[in-house]
A and B are shown apart, each in its own frame.
Chain A
Amino acid sequence: MTLKVEQENPLVAGGSNQSGSNDFVKKLFLMLQEDSYKDVVRWTLNGDSFVVLNTNEFTKEILPRHFKHSNFASFVRQLNKYDFHKVKVSNEEKLSYPYGEDAWEFKHPDFKINDRESLENIKRKGPSVKKVVPVGTNGIGEVKVVQAPTCNHNFSQITNSQNHMKEQIESLKADNQALHQELNVLSTKYKTLVENIVAINTTEERNHRSLGILINCLLQAGIKLPPLDFPNPSLMTSGSPGTSAPQISTTNLPNPKFHVLLVEDDNVCIQLCRKFLVKYGCQVTVVTDGLNAISTVEHTKYDLVLMDIVMPNLDGATATSVIRSFDTKTPIIAMTGNIEDNDLVTYLQNGMSDILAKPFTKDDLYSILSKHLLTEPPKVDTDENAAAAIGAPTPVAPPAEVVSTVPVSVPVSVPVSVPVSVPVSVSGPGSVPTGPVPVPGSVPVSGTLPDRNGLGEPLKKKSRI
């Protein structure tokens, strides 16, 4: 747009220039047509050029009268500006040249005797242009010539702004890089922080468990205890409504084919999904937020993790990326209602193995389970399970009574029955679930039960589920 305007401007300028300057050519033309000074200046015989026969007379008589020029040289310059050229006469030609040795002959293709119309084609050249415009393309040539300085100007402007932009891009690049680095630093810090929180959580839980055991022992030994403010850390998480349900629970099956961790905060979804899983033949452990998911996966091996995304405390995507820093093998399936492409890419980048769109049917779930569970031989993990499950609480269980229960569980080949049967001997009063009733605690092992029971916090879960 602007360029067009700038192109047009020289044209206009040239036009106005032309009308004014053309007066010079017209004056010259009229003077020659009148033929009143034929001894001084006149048309040549062909009529396509004119000749100044006597430069002295021309300068003295004609220039002051008709033109503003004070000397002949200035007149010639003016002619040159209108693209008139002196006709060169070679030495041989000079002999037969009719106008004498001192004659100056000037020629312009459009300056002819009796041809007034062609005069309009004669235009003044632009200032400071030395280049000779090719004859014949005069009109266009002039426009180009007039444009040239503007172009030059534009060009330098463009170059300037380009340089400016380059600088800006460079500084943006630098900024971007700095931000990237900062982001990396922050995400590393964030991950470390989350890991630390998880670690603290785990330690808290262990301490809680040990203290619970201690309290139990003291109670059994008949020592009266003052009332203690001793909440379970895993129950202290704040969350959406409905999460008053226990944070961690495990459904036990007599002969589970697989052990699945279900990470989900929605009570209805938990019940439904757990039902489907149990029907499929899975032992199901349920946790209701990302932090608990991390600590649970940390000390128990699962065949598969079903991970909700939007959860209190820590979202499923972040939890997965933290889990992936120590466990790259366990399939983690994202369960989500957000199935837009961007989200899916993010989930996969976070280390999710697959995605199960919510709401899902039983068949949707089963096809995902088959895909990820049936590819590897399912049998080995039960032993690992036992080892992992036993491994976790041992350092925290110094009291003799409890320690003694641990070896008992080892010879049992099916570890599933252990968490149900063992606590009975340890915990005193309180409700002890039997059969396929969910057992609280992140690890399906004896240590989890006594603390809750010992604190006089009877499990209200039964009514919930």
Chain B
Amino acid sequence: MTEEKRQKLQDTGLVEWSVFSELVAMDEDEEGFSKSLFQSFVDQVHDTFQAIDENLKSKNLDQLSGLGHYLKGSAAALGLTTISSQCERIQNYGHKINFDNFDINDLHKDQHNDTNITSSSSNTNSKDDSIPSNINSSSHTSKPTTNSSDSAISRTIPDENSDDFWIELIEDALEKARDGFAKSSAALNEYFDNEL
């Protein structure tokens, strides 16, 4: 039974398997060790996400960077790469380093034309899909007119010198981190019998 669960979790590809199996191996001396580890991680994520939200409001980039670094460490230690990579983005953007050359224009496109990132998240929360069809090609072909009006409506894109630019990038990273966390914790919850 556990083998089955293991296989299922591994198949999601959400956790770095070499790290995870090492953690699980620790349960041999102390039952429930890995579970308690993930439990405290879940607590930590909730606290940190909340703190990030607050600092996004006050636009405190230094704090945001610190929080990104903080969560990155524990996410990476548990092999949750989808979360740690987004936290790394937050850490760097907080220091105004666009280390992955993220194009803010993509972000503005994404906001209007529901593309790959949000569409992948729609598996878990499909209620907020304003566009009926989620497949890129169809949304493009069916609504060519809205595209042009979208670009006219879209906010002015902040430039790299303003804090708003980095805040916007961090918001994007946080959104993706949340998404990664939602999926990872769902998969892990299944593994840990809904005890996270």
Interfacial residues, chain A to chain B (CB-CB below 8 A): 240-242, 265-269, 271-272, 275, 279, 310, 337, 358-359, 361-362, 464-465
Which residues of A sit under 8 angstroms from B70, Cβ to Cβ? Answer: 240-242, 265-266, 310
Among A358, A359, A464, which residue has the most Cβ atoms of chain B within 10 A? A359
Q: Which residue of B lies closest to A264 (CB)?
A: B73
Tell me whether B48 is interfacial, beta carbon within 8 Å. yes
> In the complex, A268→B71 CA distance in Å?
10
Which residues of B sit under 8 angstroms from A362, Cβ to Cβ? Answer: 22
Tell me whether B51 is interfacial, beta carbon within 8 Å. yes
Give which listed residue, B22, B30, B77, contacts A358 with CB less than 8 A.
Answer: B77
A164 CB to nearest chain B CB (Å) = 35
Q: Which residue of B lies closest to A310 (CB)?
A: B69
The answer to whether A266 and B73 touch across the interface, beta carbons within 8 angstroms, is: yes
Among A240, A275, A279, A362, which residue has the most Cβ atoms of chain B within 10 A? A240
> In the complex, A79→B165 CA distance in Å?
78
Tell me whether B31 is interfacial, beta carbon within 8 Å. no
The answer to whether A272 and B23 touch across the interface, beta carbons within 8 angstroms, is: yes
> In the complex, A358→B72 CA distance in Å?
10
Among A242, A265, A465, which residue has the most Cβ atoms of chain B within 10 A? A242
**Given known contacts A242-B47, A310-B66, is B22 in contact with A269 (CB within 8 Å)?**
no
Tell me whether B3 is interfacial, beta carbon within 8 Å. no
Give which listed residue, B26, B44, B50, B69, contacts A275 with CB less than 8 A.
Answer: B26
Provide a sorted-by-A list of 18 A–B residue pairs whose CB atoms are within 8 angstroms.
A240-B66, A241-B51, A242-B44, A242-B47, A265-B70, A266-B74, A268-B41, A268-B73, A268-B74, A269-B73, A271-B40, A275-B26, A275-B33, A310-B66, A337-B72, A337-B76, A358-B76, A359-B84
Tell me whether B78 is interfacial, beta carbon within 8 Å. yes
Interfacial residues, chain B to chain A (CB-CB below 8 A): 18-19, 22-23, 26, 29-30, 33, 36-37, 40-41, 43-44, 47-48, 50-51, 66-67, 69-70, 72-74, 76-79, 84
A352 CB to nearest chain B CB (Å) = 18
B128 CB to nearest chain A CB (Å) = 28
The answer to whether B66 and A271 touch across the interface, beta carbons within 8 angstroms, is: no
> In the complex, A240→B44 CA distance in Å?
10
Q: Which residue of B lies closest to A308 (CB)?
A: B73
The answer to whether B40 and A464 touch across the interface, beta carbons within 8 angstroms, is: yes
Q: Beyond A240-B66, A241-B47, A267-B40: 20 further Cβ-contacts under 8 Å?
A: A240-B48, A240-B51, A240-B70, A241-B48, A241-B50, A242-B43, A242-B44, A242-B47, A242-B70, A266-B73, A266-B74, A268-B37, A268-B78, A269-B74, A271-B37, A275-B33, A279-B29, A310-B70, A358-B73, A358-B77
> In the complex, A310→B62 CA distance in Å?
13
